Amino acid sequence: MSVAAVAGLPAGRQRRVLPGFGLTMGLVLTYVGIIVLLPVIALFLKGAEIGPLRFWEIVTAPRTLAALRLTLTAAALATVFNAFYGLLMAWVLVRYRFPGRRLLDAMMDIPFALPTAVAGLALTALFSENGWYGAILAPAGIGVVYTIWGVAVAMSFTSIPFVVRTVQPILEDLDPGQEEAARTLGATPFQIFTRVIFPAILPSFLVGTTIAFARSLGEFGAVIFIAGNLPMKTEIASLLAVIRLEEYDYNGAAAIALTLVAIAMVLLVVSNWLQARLTRRRVPA
Amino acid sequence: MTPATLAPRPDRRAQWLLIGLAVALTLFIVVVPLVYIFWRALSEGFAVFAQNILAPDTLHAIWLTSAVAVITLPVNLAVGIAAAWLIARFTFPGRKALLTIIELPFSISPIIAGVCYLLLYGRQGLLGPALAAGDVKILFALPGIVMVTLFVTGPFVAREVLPLMQAQGSEQEQAALTLGASGWQIFCRVTLPNIRWALLYGAVLATARAVGEFGAVSVVSGAIRGQTMTLPLQIELLFNDLNTVGAFAAASTLTLIALVVLVLKTVLEGRTR
């Protein structure tokens, strides 16, 4: 029984028995309005001003297409790596006990804690020809800095934690009984993994990779250090939007930004849908 | 009772192979870059390092970044608590929509946030002409940097505090109310002690992000040397000026902050969870 009922307040006031509704509502709405909504609305209004034909022209211009293609391809490369690496890390951190495990676990948070500009600087210097990695790779004819590979390296570094941190808790909660059952039925460790474990962690694995992909698409700070930013070659889409702004081509900037927002929203919907499936599945267990 | 102890048989070789692979990859991808930052920062000796840090532009960048952090923190705390209180303690139409809007900045990449700000306040932006007429400077100055940083860091505090307040329920606060406590008394004596660790955790994450934000700030700062360069932007400037050691010196200070944040995070996670 709620306090309002005890105190004999009218039933209508029952929900708002605690003070502060007006104050917090006012503060939050003012803040959200000025800081978040107004700028986002500006983007959509600018986008609406352009008109569909001009919008299409901007987005399909060779330089924009090249930038979008580079961004998507590099993000895909980064995500493929992170999918494997993340799954490996989650598995090793959850299933095995070994000295230094907690330290290894803490290392997974470094890419989030480190400012992206710092990550970009360090990776660029490491992979440039006189850096520790570049010195080994360059004689082999592998160039990373100022190529799509550099973009992918920067993207994968900054989105490392996503797959690990989404798969880890699911793997921890997995019912060992099913594996035991599979083992007593004569399944090999490989069969147990592919038939029992992997299907159980698949939704979380997909959520993690989707978020990692979305984050890679949006990554800016780390990428611009290593990319070299050559138009048509190693220029990412968000940088092109900024360049358009600097040229006072606000329509161009808005069209590219809206395209990126649209891609991000689609990915968000996909990940939410996967997440909903994930929680539904976990209820009976 | 870990699955590993349940199943000692499946061969140990595979286990050590996977652990070895995980450790080796993490060394290459995470640890070496981290070590490399300090190694390069100090590669020309401590005197040069100190000289780099104490260069006027870098000092100014440190000052500006600290100012941004100091201004954004109280706003983030106030709004985060207010949002959590509003959503956890009241029901009203549009509650879910409001939560979505509060969390919106997490799904918009910071660079796009910066672009939005320019489309709003820029010379040809929606409010640009009005601002120019009134001689109000938001872009390429401290207000713009602070506002866009607030955009990027806004959801952190609410995201930590809200689930905790929802889980704790409002029985204690309602009891205080029937005992005659005022709104502020309830907040200071009941709510705040209950949420303090989550609040601190959210504040640490928000501040770390405010200090390190690059993309959003780079769009609105205008990159005026010695004036609107925050520390992350100063790193890029030094790097483009081919002063790599100076860039790494500036980066090492941010890296130290990041490591402190990681330690705080580990300590606080133990307290909040």
**Cα dihedral angle (B218, B224, B230, B233), rounded to 10 degrees?**
50
Any B CB within 8 A of A62 CB: no
Residues A93 and A207 grouped into a single domain:
yes
Residue A268 inside a domain? The answer is yes
Residues B177 and B257 grouped into a single domain:
yes
Any B CB within 8 A of A3 CB: yes
- Residue among B114, B7, B50, B183 nearest A243 (CA): B114
What residues of chain B lie within 8 A of the CB of A98, using their CB? Answer: 19
CB B77 within 8 A of CB B203: yes
Question: Mind telling me how many Å the CA of A43 is from chain B's nearest CA?
Answer: 5
Residues B157 and B35 grouped into a single domain:
no
Handedness of CA B261, B262, B267, B273 (dihedral sign): positive
pLDDT in tens, B112-138: 999 999 999 988 888 988 998 988 889
Structure confidence at residue B271 (pLDDT)? 77
Q: Closest partner residue to A261 among B112, B232, B248, by Cβ?
A: B112
Structure confidence at residue A91 (pLDDT)? 95
CB contact under 8 A, B22 and A92: yes
Q: In residues, how long is chain B?
A: 273
Residues B167 and B190 grouped into a single domain:
yes
CB contact under 8 A, A96 and B19: yes
Structure confidence at residue A6 (pLDDT)? 43
CB contact under 8 A, B109 and A264: yes
Structure confidence at residue B235 (pLDDT)? 96
Residues A88 and A199 grouped into a single domain:
yes
CB contact under 8 A, B236 and A225: yes
Q: Closest partner residue to B239 among A97, A217, A225, by Cβ?
A: A225
User: Most B CBs within 10 Å: which of A18, A127, A137, A271, as the mutation test of the B interface?
Assistant: A18
pTM for the whole structure: 0.90
Residues A151 and A275 grouped into a single domain:
yes
Residues A251 and A273 grouped into a single domain:
yes
A positions 63-82 inside 8 Å of B (CB): none
Q: Closest partner residue to B120 among A39, A89, A219, by Cβ?
A: A39
Residues A101 and A75 grouped into a single domain:
yes
Residues B12 and B83 grouped into a single domain:
no
Residues B132 and B113 grouped into a single domain:
yes
Residues A199 and A267 grouped into a single domain:
yes
pLDDT in tens, B145-199: 999 999 999 999 999 999 999 999 999 999 999 999 999 999 999 999 999 999 9
| CATH number of the domain within which A276 lies | 1.10.3720.10
Structure confidence at residue B10 (pLDDT)? 54
| CATH number of the domain within which B87 lies | 1.10.3720.10
Q: What's the per-residue H, E or C state across chain A?
A: CCHHHHHCCCHHHHHHCCCCHHHHHHHHHHHHHHHHHHHHHHHHHHHHHHCHHHHHHHHCCHHHHHHHHHHHHHHHHHHHHHHHHHHHHHHHHHHCCCCCHHHHHHHCCHHHHCCHHHHHHHHHHHHCCCCCCHHHHHHHCCCCCCCHHHHHHHHHHHCHHHHHHHHHHHHHHCCHHHHHHHHHCCCCHHHHHHHHHHHHHHHHHHHHHHHHHHHHHHCCHHHHHHHCCCCCCCCCHHHHHHHHHHCCCHHHHHHHHHHHHHHHHHHHHHHHHHHHHHHHHHCCC
Residues A166 and A230 grouped into a single domain:
yes
Q: Closest partner residue to B79 among A21, A28, A250, by Cβ?
A: A28
Q: Find all residues with CB under 8 Å of A23, minimum gap 6, and list them.
A: B82
Any B CB within 8 A of A237 CB: no
Residues A45 and A60 grouped into a single domain:
no
Residues B22 and B140 grouped into a single domain:
no
Residue A266 inside a domain? The answer is yes
DSSP run (H or E) holding B112: helix B110-121
Structure tokens at A210: 């989707």
Residues A96 and A162 grouped into a single domain:
yes
Residues A111 and A24 grouped into a single domain:
no
Structure confidence at residue A280 (pLDDT)? 63
Residue A162 inside a domain? The answer is yes
Structure confidence at residue B9 (pLDDT)? 53
Q: pLDDT band at B273, cuts 50/70/90?
A: low
Q: In A126-155, which positions are buried (b, 16+ CB within 10 angstroms) versus exposed (e)?
A: bbbeebbbbeebbeeeeebbbbbbbbbbbb
Average pLDDT estimate for B84-91: 94
Question: Mind telling me how many Å the CA of A274 is from chain B's nearest CA?
Answer: 16
CB contact under 8 A, B122 and A25: no
User: Most B CBs within 10 Å: which of A16, A29, A36, A238, as the mutation test of the B interface?
Assistant: A36
| Per-residue pLDDT at B8 exceeds 70 | no
How many domains does chain A fold into? 2
Structure confidence at residue A8 (pLDDT)? 42
Handedness of CA A55, A58, A62, A67 (dihedral sign): negative
Closest residue in A to B95 (Cα) is A25
Residue A192 inside a domain? The answer is yes
Host domain of residue A39: 19-50
| Per-residue pLDDT at B4 exceeds 70 | no
CB contact under 8 A, A114 and B235: no
Residues A166 and A260 grouped into a single domain:
yes
What residues of chain B lie within 8 A of the CB of A268, using their CB? Answer: 107
pLDDT tens, chain A, 285 aa long: 344 444 444 444 445 678 999 999 999 999 999 999 999 999 999 999 999 999 999 999 999 999 999 999 999 999 999 999 999 999 999 999 999 999 999 999 999 999 999 999 999 999 999 999 999 999 999 999 999 999 999 999 999 999 999 999 999 999 888 889 999 999 988 899 999 999 999 989 999 999 999 999 999 999 999 999 999 999 999 999 999 999 999 999 999 999 999 999 999 899 888 888 766 655 443
Q: Closest partner residue to B78 among A27, A132, A242, by Cβ?
A: A27
Residues B33 and B130 grouped into a single domain:
no
Structure confidence at residue B13 (pLDDT)? 87
Residue type, A270: V
CB contact under 8 A, B174 and A17: yes
Residue type, A235: E
**Cα dihedral angle (B55, B56, B58, B62), rounded to 10 degrees?**
130
CB contact under 8 A, B109 and A217: yes
Residues A238 and A255 grouped into a single domain:
yes
Structure tokens at A224: 């611009």
How many domains does chain B fold into? 2
Structure confidence at residue A2 (pLDDT)? 43
**Over chain B, what is the mean pLDDT?**
92
Q: Please state the ipTM of this predicted complex.
A: 0.91
Q: Find all residues with CB under 8 Å of B208, minimum gap 6, and list them.
A: A113, B257, B258, B261
Host domain of residue B30: 1-41
